[in-house]
Amino acid sequence: MAKKVTPYKESGEGKKKQVTRMFDTISGEYDRLNRVISFGTDIRWRKRVVAILASRKPRRILDIATGTGDLAIALKETGAEQIVGLDISPGMLEIGKRKVKEQSLDDTIEMVIGDSEALNFKEGTFDAATVAFGVRNFEDLRKGLKEIYRVLK
Write out the CATH class of domain 13-151: alpha beta
CB 95 within 8 A of CB 73: no
pLDDT tens, 26-70? 777 777 777 667 777 878 889 999 999 999 999 999 999 999 999
Return d(Cα 117, Cα 86) in angstroms, integer: 11
Residue 5 pLDDT more than 50? no
| Complete DSSP assignment for 109-129 | EEEEE-BTTB--S-TT-BSEE
Return d(Cα 128, Cα 59) in angstroms, integer: 8
pLDDT tens, 71-80? 999 999 999 9
| pTM of the complete model | 0.83
User: What are φ and ψ of residue 90, in 5° steps?
Assistant: -60, -35
CB 133 within 8 A of CB 64: no
pLDDT tens, 122-144? 999 999 999 987 888 888 999 99
Q: Among the residues of the chain, which ranges form H helices?
A: 15-26, 30-37, 41-54, 70-74, 90-102, 141-151
